[in-house]
Amino acid sequence: MKYSSIFLLFILFIFSSCQKEIGGEGEAGIAQDFMLEKFNDVQAKGIFKLLLIENDSAYVSVQTHQNLIENINIYVQRGTLHIEEKQPVSSFESYVVYLYYNDLKKVEIQEKVLCEPADKIIQDKLELKAYGDAKFDAFDIETEELSLRAENSSSIRIKGLAKNAKFKAKNQAQINATEMRARVVDLDLAGEAEVQASIEDEIKGRVLDNSVIRYTGNPQKNIEVKDHAQVVKE
């Protein structure tokens, strides 16, 4: 029993050591480019800023510290670009990731990634997903079909134009689309999620638990409201 306890403590020590955060050394002035295979979707996980830039050719440029350049893992698998840290870093300023793309359908961010576009994103269909404490900020879009999903304590702030939009949010997530004109919005809200939107023609779906939808405009309403959920016209 004694040896089992010692072995268990040893394993826990090794595990905690592997998970220990690392910090950058010196100035974050090192830049390295990564050429990519073709992709349409992006999945980013970690603690860094991700800047989206439309370009004729697709590649990733990472600005970071010399000792951290090998800590970021970038690869394409089945049409999805993955950007993730091998080991957690101690500071949000450790990385800035510039993603140059020529076609973008879906972006998913996790943990504490902050994602922003350099310019307006124009696509027929666009899907954004945020988990953990991740944030989509200052997104300017123009699309026929928009799908937003936010969970945990994540947030999405978006503006522009969408013909049809689906908003799914739960836990303490927030979606702010007051500066985006949407004709039809389909809601699926739960937990303590909060959504703000500007809706022209129709608002539908369901609002459950303690979630809230605050909206402007005069759309037709076809909403299932349960528990202590609120539908507030402003």
Backbone angles phi, psi at 185, to 5 degrees: -125, 125
Domain final residue, candidates 119, 143, 159: 119
15 assigned to some structural domain = no
Please report the pLDDT score of residue 22 as a whole number. 66
- CATH code assigned at 233: 2.160.20.120
Residues 178 and 232 in one domain: yes
Structural domain including 61 reads 24-119
Residues 155 and 224 in one domain: yes
**Residue 132 · residue 152 · CB < 8 Å:** yes
> Going along the chain, which residue ranges are E strands?
30-35, 41-46, 49-54, 59-64, 72-77, 80-85, 95-101, 106-111, 114-117, 121-130, 135-150, 155-169, 174-189, 194-207, 212-216, 220-225, 230-233
Residues 205 and 143 in one domain: yes
Residues 141 and 102 in one domain: no
Residues 173 and 91 in one domain: no
Provide the whole-model pTM: 0.89
5 assigned to some structural domain = no
105 assigned to some structural domain = yes
Q: How many domains does the chain have?
A: 2
**Residue 191 · residue 172 · CB < 8 Å:** yes
9 assigned to some structural domain = no
Residues 40 and 93 in one domain: yes
192 assigned to some structural domain = yes
205 assigned to some structural domain = yes
DSSP 45-95: EESSEEEEEE-SS-EEEEEE-GGGGGGEEEEEETTEEEEEESS-BS-GGGE
Residues 154 and 106 in one domain: no
Please report the pLDDT score of residue 8 as a whole number. 44
Residues 32 and 114 in one domain: yes
Residues 102 and 72 in one domain: yes
Residues 45 and 74 in one domain: yes
102 assigned to some structural domain = yes
Rounded CA gap, 178 and 182, in Å?
10
- Using CA atoms, how far residue 100 sits from 50, 60, 113, 149, 198, in Å, is 11, 6, 17, 23, 31
Q: List, run by run, the mean pLDDT of 10-residue segments along the chain (234 residues).
A: 47 47 61 92 96 96 84 94 88 83 97 97 98 97 98 99 98 98 98 98 98 98 97 97
Q: C-alpha angle 40/43/14, rounded to 5°?
A: 150
Residues 100 and 47 in one domain: yes
Residues 109 and 139 in one domain: no
172 assigned to some structural domain = yes
